[in-house]
Structure formats: C-alpha cells, structure tokens
Amino acid sequence: MTDQPDRLFSQPQPQIRDFVFNEDVVRVFPDMIKRSVPGYPTIVENIGVLAAEFAQANSALYDLGCSLGAVTQSLRRHVKADGCRVIAMDNSTAMVERCREYLHAQDSMFQELLPVEVLEGDILNLAFQPASLVAMNFTLQFIPPQERLGLLQRIRQALLPGGALILSEKLRFEDDSQQALLTDLHIAFKRANGYSELEIAQKRSAIENVMKPDSFEQHRERLHAAGFSQVLPWFQCINFASLIALP
C-alpha cells in the first residue's frame, strides 16, 4: 500500500482521453490530490473536527465520493458519539477496493473506531438513512450539473435537525478577470508542487469534460433551493473552498 508519485501526465500523449478514476489513478491518488488541491490535508483533517460538533448518537455519517477514504478516516479519528456509523460510497471499483484496504489498516492500528461500511455505487442512487453529517469532499463537481439539485435535496431530507452537510469544491469565478487570476494562482501552486507545464496542460485537457465547477453564488443558491437554511464558508485556499450547509 505504498503511495506512488503522480507522473500520469508527464509524457506527451498523442490524444488526451477523458479522466477516469481507474487503477492507474488509484495508485498515485494520495500524491495527486495533495499536489493538486490547495488546502486538501487541512480540509480533510478539519472535516473530522467539525463533524464531531454535529455528530449525533445512533445516526449515520456519510462520506460521498470517498475515493480512498481520507475523510472517512478523519471522521473515525475525531467523532466519538455513541452508536454512530460511517457510510462511505464511491462508484470507482478501483477506489473502493483500495479504500477497504486502507480502512482495514486503520482498524488494525486503532481501537474503538466507528464502524464503517464502504459501498460501491452511484451516490445518485443512494437511499439515505437519517444522518447527522454528510461530507462531499470534491465530489459534487463530478456529478452531472442537472442532477446536483436533486442530490442535495435528498441529502437535506436525510439530515437530522442539528446536523450538517460539509461540501468542498473547486470554485469558478463569475468575474472573468478573477477567474483568470485564480486559475493562474492555482497553476503556480501546481508548479510549486513539482508539476511541469506539460503535466498541468495535459491534466487540464483530461479533466475539463469530466469536472464542472460552479461559483460560490451558484452553490449558495442551489443549497438554499434544496432547503438548507444557512451556507457558511469555513475554508478557502486559492480556488478551492469548503462550505458548511445547515438544514
């Protein structure tokens, strides 16, 4: 279970295919996401800290689009409420298999962790149980835009009073000059983390049809339309942010 450095886009590719979360990506994912998403380690660790404030006894905690289970592990490190269980879901078989291995390793290192169930499937088909915390850490941006409101409505309906949704996303900016500046700053972040111009350009082409970021204003309006009463940003680093939405 060693993490390999991300060199997926280091060689020129004659044709750039759309990005998929396959075995090649899984092998390098921890390195890739840390070097690509500004603030990722801080966000992951603090989702656990924040979740502990919202978690209620005998309820479900969801990690939607769990990838390798970084958020699930953070929830299990921080949440102590009695009878809580974590339900993690991802539709990539390769991610789910590796996620289960990582969680098994966490179980062998620590005692009294919350029970966890890792489901393989589309979060759009998930039948939610009553939940005190739902985390979607950089997943909504991969959901088809026309499905996002319905998913948020189902999450809102599953949330218990006093619970919360924690939603992290790459942000788009409605003002063109702000969008250009924040994109340049993100490229500078990737360059500083050792990615070449070729890697940055090829990754961008691979992901642009697959990942569709929204602006903060779109998120806020959609969350209110889904029935959330409050939307509070708690973290932003360059063009990546995390929000708390309250029922």
How many residues are recorded in the chain? Answer: 247
Does residue 210 bind ligand GEK (CB under 6 A)?
Answer: no
Cα–Cα–Cα angle for 201, 205, 209, rounded to 5 degrees: 155
118 binds ligand GEK (CB under 6 A): no
Q: How far apart are CA 95 and CA 99, in angstroms?
A: 6
Nearer to ligand GEK, 6 or 90 (CB): 90
Q: How far is CA 154 from CA 85, 130, 148, 158, 244, in A?
A: 19, 11, 10, 6, 16
CB of 216 to ligand GEK, least distance (A): 18
- Which residues lie closer than 8 Å to 111 by C-beta, 6 or more apart? none
Which residue of 90, 169, 199, 214 would you call a contact of ligand GEK, by CB under 6 A? Answer: 90
Does 70 participate in binding ligand GEK (rule CB under 6 A)? yes
Residue 44, interface with ligand GEK (CB under 6 A)? yes
- The single residue among 71, 171, 182, 238 that binds ligand GEK, judged by CB under 6 A, is 71
Does 199 contact ligand GEK by CB under 6 A? no
Q: What is the DSSP letter of 193?
A: T
Determine if 96 is a binding residue for ligand GEK (CB under 6 A).
no
Binding to ligand GEK (CB under 6 A) within 126-165 occurs at 137-139, 142-143
- Tokens, residue 201: 């350009």
Over the window 8 to 37, marking each residue x when it contacts ligand GEK by CB under 6 A and - when it does not, the resulting string is: -------------x-----------x----
247 binds ligand GEK (CB under 6 A): no
Rounded to whole angstroms, how far apart are CA atoms 147 and 162?
26
Pairing of strands 240-246, 159-172: antiparallel
- Concatenating the DSSP letter of every residue in 107-131 gives HHH-SSPPPEEEEES-GGG--PPPE
Interface residue list for ligand GEK (CB under 6 A): 21, 33, 44, 65-67, 70-71, 89-92, 95, 122-124, 137-139, 142-143
